[in-house]
Amino acid sequence: MESLSHTSLFSWLINEETASYQFHGQALSRHVECQAPQGGARLRLIYAMRDVEAEIARAISQSTLPFSLAFIDRKSGLNCIELCSDEPLTQTHLQLFSSLEKVEAFSMAAEPPTLNSPGLLVMDMDSTAIEIECIDELAAMAGVGEAVAEVTERAMLGELDFEESLRGRVSQLTGADESIIQTLCDKLPLMPGLTEMVSELQSHDWRVVVASGGFTPFVGHLKELLNLDAAYANKLDIEGGKLVGTVSGQVVDAQFKADTVQRCAQLWDIPQGQRLAIGDGANDIPMIEAADFGIAYHAKPKLKQAADVSISQLDLRVLPYLLLLDSISS
């Protein structure tokens, strides 16, 4: 019976039109996203399966706060409700919601980026836009996978200089046949939710860019596949059909990624507040800090500390729910 009682909260929120609801002694109200109460706390709970809604409702009842609620609708296929309170949320309240299994809880900024205004997203590629580290996969196909993977992990943790580690790992590929590049391109595993996230941003005239410490064939593949606005990565040197173990041209390191945020924002006249970056490793920290809103994605500890928010459980479809739709017509 309690489960049915808790589920009734979502039935009211999603299916009914009444302005208020008495829920276990709490006086709850509703709002639409673009007319949220101002000046108080604003929390979004994002989840994939609706079977967690009874637990969310139970947490709301345990909080005892007079929330105003909204159902946040996006195209990318997750579920989201917004909780607004005139009273500040204590650490106890935040822990109550953040401890829910299969639910991501995000405190919204006072002025979050706006989805239905032009913006910019700069993405890392390896382990962010795709599920793998390309250098590790190339090394495995070249027979030197274990040695290279260990260096990659240390570089992502921020224990090694990126350019030095890149050149060292690439040198291990000396003599490998260039056909391994196309083989990997043909089976490049996109991160779950990538296509949906990019499509939703592009539908609102956002610019989407990849800046990767990986290699040009793979970012080029993504650029064509997803109709991205730009893609930057390192150029592998090839002679006579073989990798020669070097990269040439400008190395796409942490500073290059950070500069990409500023350069692309100026190129497309993206206003402050609308410049986002997302990544997973320590090499992404300057890029995250250069953006107005930095997102850590299933990230290493150092990047989590630097980011504004961290996506830890769900996939990339979460990102549009972190932005604000500021008009009903959109």
Query: Same domain for 203 and 293?
Result: yes
Query: Same domain for 38 and 60?
Result: yes
Query: Same domain for 227 and 88?
Result: no
Q: Would residue 124 show up in a list of annotated catalytic residues for this protein?
A: yes
Q: Helices 134-141 & 162-171, crossing angle to 10 degrees?
A: 20
Concatenate the DSSP letters of all residues of 263-285 into one string.
Answer: HHHHHTTPPTT-EEEEESSGGGH
Residue 40 binned pLDDT confidence (cut-offs 50, 70, 90): confident
Return all residues near 52 (Cβ < 8 A) that are at least 6 apart.
100, 101, 102, 103
Residue 113 lies in a domain: no
Query: Same domain for 124 and 262?
Result: yes
Find the CATH number of the domain harbouring 245: 3.40.50.1000
Catalytic residue among 73, 86, 124, 253: 124
Query: Same domain for 284 and 237?
Result: yes
One-letter amino acid at 83 equals: L
**Which one is predicted more confidently, 40 or 241?**
241
Query: Same domain for 218 and 300?
Result: yes
What is the residue range of 54's domain?
9-107
Catalytic residue among 73, 126, 205, 269: 126
Residue 271 lies in a domain: yes
Query: Same domain for 42 and 126?
Result: no
How confident is the model at residue 146, as a pLDDT? 84
Query: Same domain for 123 and 64?
Result: no
- Residues listed for the chain: 330
Query: Same domain for 202 and 89?
Result: no
pLDDT in tens, 182-215: 999 999 999 999 999 999 999 999 999 999 999 9
**Mean pLDDT over each residue of the chain, to the nearest integer:** 92
Find the CATH number of the domain harbouring 80: 3.30.70.260
pLDDT in tens, 74-106: 998 999 999 999 988 889 999 999 999 999 999
Residue 2 binned pLDDT confidence (cut-offs 50, 70, 90): very low
Residue 155 lies in a domain: no
Residue 229 lies in a domain: yes
| Structure tokens given for 221 | 């593949």
One-letter amino acid at 16 equals: E
Residue 203 lies in a domain: yes
Query: Same domain for 124 and 267?
Result: yes
Instruction: Give which of 288, 220, 302 is closest to 260, Cα–Cα.
Output: 288
Residue 5 binned pLDDT confidence (cut-offs 50, 70, 90): low
Q: Kindly report the pTM of this predicted structure.
A: 0.93
The phi and psi torsions of 249 (rounded to 5 degrees) equal: 80, -170
Residue 296 lies in a domain: yes
If you average pLDDT over residues 51-79, what whole number do you get? 92
Residue 257 binned pLDDT confidence (cut-offs 50, 70, 90): very high
Query: Same domain for 214 and 315?
Result: yes
Longest dimension (CA), the chain: 76
In this predicted structure, the answer to whether residue 330 has a pLDDT above a threshold of 50 is no
| d(C-alpha 7, C-alpha 1), whole Å | 10
Other C-beta atoms within 10 Å of 50: how many? 12
Q: Would residue 229 show up in a list of annotated catalytic residues for this protein?
A: no
What percent of the chain lies above the pLDDT cut of 70? 97
If you average pLDDT over residues 119-131, what whole number do you get? 98
Return all residues near 22 (Cβ < 8 A) that are at least 6 apart.
28
If you average pLDDT over residues 107-131, what whole number do you get? 95
How confident is the model at residue 258, as a pLDDT? 98
Q: Which residues pair with 121 in a beta bridge?
A: 208, 276
Structural domains of the chain, count: 2
Residue 4 lies in a domain: no
Instruction: Give which of 208, 213, 237 is closest to 156, Cα–Cα.
Output: 213
Residue 170 lies in a domain: no
Query: Same domain for 128 and 74?
Result: no
How confident is the model at residue 328, as a pLDDT? 62
In this predicted structure, the answer to whether residue 155 has a pLDDT above a threshold of 80 is no
Residue 165 binned pLDDT confidence (cut-offs 50, 70, 90): confident
**Which one is predicted more confidently, 168 or 127?**
127
| d(C-alpha 30, C-alpha 18), whole Å | 8
In this predicted structure, the answer to whether residue 1 has a pLDDT above a threshold of 50 is no
